[in-house]
């Protein structure tokens, strides 16, 4: 116990120290929100990866989908690495950095306003972020409850309050730079922790070969009659597995807390290094989490009474004290890094895109930073309260909370943002249609599942599947609507896109003649 407490105290001290060290970067709005667009490749890559993966992945998704699909759930982590990280950096990284600097935008709603010459798009998108990021933010705390109870015998409410307070302090004091540096430290902990945990857990079940053999002997007639299906290459349900891959991988392309990492990129080298590092990080962390979750059925957890969120803690309960302390810090790191990114995104969006233009248009930069800090406190407090209430009432599983949030935000924003970077003919009407489509279908899904007023088609009753449909549907809707609605002002579009064509001079070591 003493060792575990010491590890926690050192971890918290480092996080707070980084926050106060980063105060020098928060003198203006650009510095507070984007670190002055001077964040290097490793910090950017780790900030992207740690914002991507949280306790929602480690406890919620890994447990639930490992139980449902067995070892095939590893494909979710591979999809996260390839589609959610590698392809996202290649497709979005450079263009996002160039166009957002050309348009002088710091948030996603600001991008929609200046790219499509529509203030109403900015206001509505900021409201979407405010509403739908809250359930995701609240879900981050839930993965800690069982682990802290198991390792420290501490009440869940205390865990939530301590985590919220510490995260809030270093983000409020140090802004984006504090978040990026702490994300790097937390990311290293996650890398070491997941490798050590997988080795230790599999060792308890006879090593990799023994664990796979035991898993192959498990049958669940309610899922599949195929022998050994949970140890198979594709698992018992390929279609639903594919939907999870789409939601958790393609979704990052439309989430403001993820995309805004590209706004802060320093230079070309940062893009190249960041692409490689973030992909490797996702492969190890996400691939490792889902691979570990694939052995969840070996614990014999009664999911009907304990829930899916109990699976991973049961896998970990026999670990030595020192390793258990590392696991707690691993999950804390994953949760705090994502929480800091979410509350910074929410507070900056609400201040820059709603409060300043609607309530106080003449507000100077110092006041904007003050308001953002106040909003940070509010978002952290609200998310903590919701997390405690949700835990007490057992409203839903972690994965469902995250599915609704990801599906609504990414379903609304992914297509307008992606086409806005590449296609000059994207229209304002198409963006509005996609906003309504993404938020509308996920809201209806939530109402259907919560109150049963009506029923969705069986395939779309799951928030996971519905979220995947929302994203893919947006990619189809935007070009179709754009073909039949009022065209954008081509002169303004050409001016914006001119940043892609500007000539730059580089040394021969960078490029041949």
On whether residue 437 sits in a domain, the answer given is no
On whether residue 253 sits in a domain, the answer given is yes
As a three-state string, the secondary structure of 72-140 is: HHHHHHHHHHHHHHHHHHHHHHHHHHHHHHHHCCCCHHHHHHHHHCCHHHHHHHHHHHHHHHHHHHHHH
pLDDT of residue 111: 95
Does the pLDDT value for residue 283 go beyond 90?
Answer: yes
Interhelix angle 490-497/94-103, nearest 10 degrees: 120
Give the global pTM.
0.88
Where in the sequence is the domain holding 10, given as residue range(s)? 2-391
Does the pLDDT value for residue 498 go beyond 90?
Answer: yes
pLDDT of residue 400: 62
Per the prediction, the chain carries an average pLDDT of 87
On whether residue 248 sits in a domain, the answer given is yes
On whether residue 173 sits in a domain, the answer given is yes
On whether residue 117 sits in a domain, the answer given is yes
* Model pLDDT for residues 375-385, shown as the tens digit of each residue: 999 988 888 88
| Helix, strand and coil percent figures for the chain, each rounded to 5 | 80, 0, 20
Mean pLDDT of 55-84: 90
Mean pLDDT of 365-390: 87
Tell me 26's DSSP state.
-
CATH number of the domain that residue 160 is part of: 1.20.1730.10
Most confidently modeled of 14-28, 83-97, 168-182, 214-228? 83-97
Tell me 188's DSSP state.
H
How many alpha carbons fall within 13 Å on the CB side of residue 301?
25
pLDDT of residue 398: 52
Domains in the chain, number: 1
On whether residue 35 sits in a domain, the answer given is yes
On whether residue 481 sits in a domain, the answer given is no
Contact between 33 and 176 (Cβ < 8 Å): yes
On whether residue 217 sits in a domain, the answer given is yes
């Amino acid at each position: 116990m003493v060792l575990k407490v010491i590890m926690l105290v050192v971890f918290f001290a480092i996080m707070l120290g980084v926050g106060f060290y980063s105060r020098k970067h928060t003198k203006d709005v650009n510095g507070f929100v984007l670190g002055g667009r001077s964040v290097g490749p490793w910090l950017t890559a780790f900030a992207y990866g740690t914002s991507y993966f949280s306790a929602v992945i480690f406890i919620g998704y890994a447990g639930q989908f490992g139980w449902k699909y067995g070892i095939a759930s590893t494909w979710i982590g591979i999809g996260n690495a390839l589609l959610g990280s590698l392809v996202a950096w290649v497709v979005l990284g450079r263009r996002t950095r160039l166009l957002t600097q050309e348009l002088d935008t710091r948030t996603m709603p600001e991008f929609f306003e200046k790219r499509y010459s529509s203030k109403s798009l900015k206001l509505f998108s900021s409201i979407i972020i405010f509403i739908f990021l809250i359930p995701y933010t609240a879900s981050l705390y839930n993965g800690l409850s069982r682990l802290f109870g198991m390792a420290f015998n501490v009440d869940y409410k205390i865990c939530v309050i301590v985590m919220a307070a510490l995260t809030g302090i270093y983000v409020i004091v140090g802004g984006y730079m504090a978040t990026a540096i702490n994300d790097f430290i937390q990311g290293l902990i996650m890398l070491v922790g997941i490798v050590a945990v997988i080795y230790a857990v599999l060792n308890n079940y006879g090593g990799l070969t023994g664990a796979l053999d035991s898993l192959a002997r498990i049958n669940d007639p309610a899922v599949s009659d195929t022998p050994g299906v949970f140890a198979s290459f594709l698992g018992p349900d390929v279609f639903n597995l594919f939907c999870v891959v789409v939601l958790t991988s393609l979704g990052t392309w439309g989430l403001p807390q993820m995309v805004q990492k590209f706004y802060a990129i320093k230079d070309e080298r940062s893009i190249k290094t960041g692409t490689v590092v973030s992909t490797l990080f996702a492969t190890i962390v996400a691939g490792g989490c889902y691979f570990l979750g694939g052995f969840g059925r070996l614990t014999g957890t009664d999911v009907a009474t304990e829930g899916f969120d109990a699976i991973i803690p049961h896998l970990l309960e026999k670990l030595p004290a020192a390793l258990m302390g590392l696991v707690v810090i691993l999950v804390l790191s994953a949760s705090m890094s994502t929480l800091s990114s979410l509350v910074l995104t929410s507070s900056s969006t609400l201040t820059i895109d709603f409060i300043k233009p609607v309530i106080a248009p003449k507000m100077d930069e110092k006041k904007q930073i003050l308001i953002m800090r106040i909003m940070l406190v509010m978002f952290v407090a609200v998310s903590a309260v919701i997390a405690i209430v949700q835990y007490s009432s057992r409203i839903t599983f972690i994965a469902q909370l995250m599915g609704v949030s990801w599906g609504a935000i990414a379903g609304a924003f992914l297509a307008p943002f992606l086409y806005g970077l590449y296609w000059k003919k994207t229209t304002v009407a198409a963006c509005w249609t996609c906003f309504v489509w993404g938020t509308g279908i996920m809201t209806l899904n939530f109402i259907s599942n919560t109150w049963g007023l009506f029923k969705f088609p069986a395939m779309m009753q799951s928030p996971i599947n519905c979220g995947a449909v929302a994203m893919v549907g947006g990619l189809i809707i935007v070009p179709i609507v754009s073909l039949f609605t009022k065209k954008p002002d081509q002169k303004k579009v050409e001016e914006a896109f001119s940043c892609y064509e500007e000539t730059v001079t580089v040394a021969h070591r960078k490029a041949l003649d």
